Structure 1
Amino acid sequence: MGDPAGISPEIAAKLVASRDIHAGAQLVLFGDHRIFTEGARVAGVTADVDVISHGESIPDDSIRPIFVDLRNLSLEQVTPATATLAGGLFATENFRQALLLADAGRADAVFFTPFNKKAMRLAYDGYDDEIRFVRDVLKTSGAASEFNVLGNLWNARVTSHIPLSQVASAISETAILRALTLADRCMRAAGFARPRIAVAGLNPHAGDGGNFGREEIDVIEPAVQQAIAQGLAAEGPFPSDTVFLRAKNGYFDAVLTMYHDQGQIAMKLMGFDRGVTLIGGFPFPICTPAHGTAYEIAGRGIANLGASREALSLAIRMGAEVRAKRAAEGKAA
């Protein structure tokens, strides 16, 4: 369960109540059952779960979703539509417990309802984004990235949560090749046989042959050529104002952009209510809807389930691949 002051509690309850969404998967929820029950009331749904206390063994044969009640937030501590320390502590602890369960091999994927970054920063010193938090919890420093997913179209990026003034200096052949390699690996795990990845330029008109900047000539194109030499189906750089039209029309499965909003704007315009954020690069997929906590409609029971449905479905699909891989490795051993 994510931020308690927005739409996260009702989304969690709606997902649990929609058994068709999680058919074939065993859901384990972390949070406070009082907050979950209130979310179900707001949503107007009946969300049946088997409640266990933190520290109890999680059963493998439950026919209903399992709710691990951390008892970490009362209704009186929630200030609707407001980012608070209490809300941040609630969300970070729920996320931590889910990550640890997956890291221990007891879960195949992690899904979370929307966080509020202000609340998360209040609760966790130095919180930049979910990737930083996951690395801290799992004690790892490997390559990881956020991906935006809209149906069969993916958006990867070279840089993410940094000031725009720092983007050009942060782009390198190594960084681009690493992003392409990670995108290829994550997309294959999601079912793409050989993902076709278009690479966006940084400058207007992809630099216009060097008239508007040389990053395309000196950095981006050499990185694309290295990726091709390694067997990746990469192509570019393309002008960023037209590359998503090519991808939308089916010529590519993904677009690698150079910075955060270069891809986010296009993806959210095409499908804000269906967009998914995937955190890739860790041993298991981590998924969430691409939208935020929607404080402006909190408590009204009208939150759209579309993006959360897509995010949980992707987590289940990719989690099945993780489970199969673990089983295969176990037989090999």
Structure 2
Amino acid sequence: MGDAAGISPELTARMLADDAVRAAAAIFVIGDARVLAEGAKVAGVDLDIDMVAGGAPLPAQPGRPLLIDLGHCDPATVKLGEVSEAGGRFATENFRRALAMAVAGEVDAVCFTPFNKAAMRLVTPGYEDEIGFTAEAIGFHGVAKEFNVLEGLWNARVTSHVPLKDVSSLLTRDTILDNLKLTRDALRASGIEHPRIAVAALNPHAGEGGNFGREEIDVITPAVEAAKAQQIGCDGPFPSDTVFVRARRGDFDAVLTMYHDQGQIAMKLIGFEAGVTLMGGFPFPICTAAHGTAYDIAGQGKAHPGAMRNAMLLAARMASRGHGAAPA
């Protein structure tokens, strides 16, 4: 369960009442029974689940969704719609527990309802994003990146949560090549056997032959050629103002963009209420809705379940391909 001050409790309850989600995987829910009860009340659903205390042994195959009740958040202490340490601590502790279960092999995938980064920073001052938090929590030293997934279209990015002025200096042939490999592997893990990846240019008109910058000539094109030599199905660089048009009509399965908003704006315009964020590259899939905690509608029963449902189904599909039918 994510931030208790936002729509996370409501979304968690909606997922537990969703027939498609329940059929896709055996589900363990980590949180507080009181917060979940409030979420179910807001969502207007009756929950058919089992519950164990935080330290109790877990069944290998729960027949119904199972709440692991950590008993660590009284809803009365959390003000809906506001950034708070209580909301951030609740999400942080739940996430740590979920990651520990995945590392221990107790689950095959992790999903979380939305976090709020400002609230997380009140608990962990150095918190930057879920990628860095996860890597530190599980002792991971490899390459992991965020992917956005919507209606079969994937968006990957070479740089993410960095100032725009630093993007060009962070682009190298090797970093782009590494991200193309990671994108190919993530797509394959999701069931796309022969991924087609478009690479977005950095500059307007793909640099227009060097008139608007040389990154396409000196960095991006060499990376694409190196990837092709390694049998990665990719092409580009393409102007970023048209590449998503081509991808959406079916020319490509994914677009690798050079910076955060270059792809995020396009994907969220295509379908804000259905997009999924996948943290790829870790030993197990980690998924969430691409939207945030929606403090403005917290507690009102208005949370749209589409993106979170898609996140749960993607995590279950990837887990089943890699680990069989164990709990997810």
**Shorter-normalised TM-score: what interval?**
over 0.9
Distance across 2 between alignment mates of 1:131 and 1:20:
28
Q: Judge conservation of contact 1:22–1:313 (CA < 8 Å) in 2.
A: no
- Give the letter for the 2:69 counterpart: D
**How far 1:240 moved relative to its partner?**
0.3
Compute the TM-score of the two structures, normalised by the length of structure 2: 0.98
Distance across 1 between alignment mates of 2:62 and 2:231:
44
1:329 aligns with none
Question: Which runs of structure 2 are paired with 1:136-147 in the superposition (5 Å)?
Answer: 136-147=136-147
Question: Which runs of structure 2 are paired with 1:2-81 in the superposition (5 Å)?
Answer: 2-81=2-81
Compute the TM-score of the two structures, normalised by the length of structure 1: 0.96
**How far 1:97 moved relative to its partner?**
0.5
1:270 aligns with 270
Matched, 1:225 2:225: yes
Q: Judge conservation of contact 1:146–1:280 (CA < 8 Å) in 2.
A: yes
**How far 1:125 moved relative to its partner?**
2.3
Distance across 1 between alignment mates of 2:83 and 2:260:
24
**How far 1:194 moved relative to its partner?**
1.1
2:148 aligns with 148
1:250 aligns with 250
The C-alpha deviation readout for 1:63-109, integer Å capped at 9, x for no partner, is 21010001110012111101111111110110010111011111111
2:168 aligns with 168
Distance across 2 between alignment mates of 1:167 and 1:77:
41
Q: Judge conservation of contact 1:148–1:154 (CA < 8 Å) in 2.
A: yes
Q: Judge conservation of contact 1:200–1:243 (CA < 8 Å) in 2.
A: yes
Task: Give the match's secondary structure for 1:20.
Answer: helix
Distance across 1 between alignment mates of 2:299 and 2:24:
30
**How far 1:33 moved relative to its partner?**
0.7
Distance across 1 between alignment mates of 2:97 and 2:71:
13
The C-alpha deviation readout for 1:221-267, integer Å capped at 9, x for no partner, is 00000000001001000000000001001000000000000000000
**How far 1:302 moved relative to its partner?**
1.2
Distance across 2 between alignment mates of 1:19 and 1:59:
21
1:330 aligns with none
**How far 1:325 moved relative to its partner?**
11
* Relative contact order, higher structure (CA 8 A, sep 6+): 2
Distance across 2 between alignment mates of 1:120 and 1:213:
38
Unpaired runs of at least 5, structure 2: none
Kindly report the root-mean-square deviation, in angstroms, between the aligned alpha carbons of the 2 structures.
1.1
Task: Give the match's secondary structure for 2:21.
Answer: coil
**How far 1:22 moved relative to its partner?**
2.4
- Give the letter for the 1:148 counterpart: N
Distance across 2 between alignment mates of 1:98 and 1:151:
27
Task: Give the match's secondary structure for 2:187.
Answer: helix
**How far 1:140 moved relative to its partner?**
1.2
**How far 1:324 moved relative to its partner?**
3.6
**How far 1:19 moved relative to its partner?**
2.3
2:288 aligns with 288
- Give the letter for the 1:100 counterpart: A
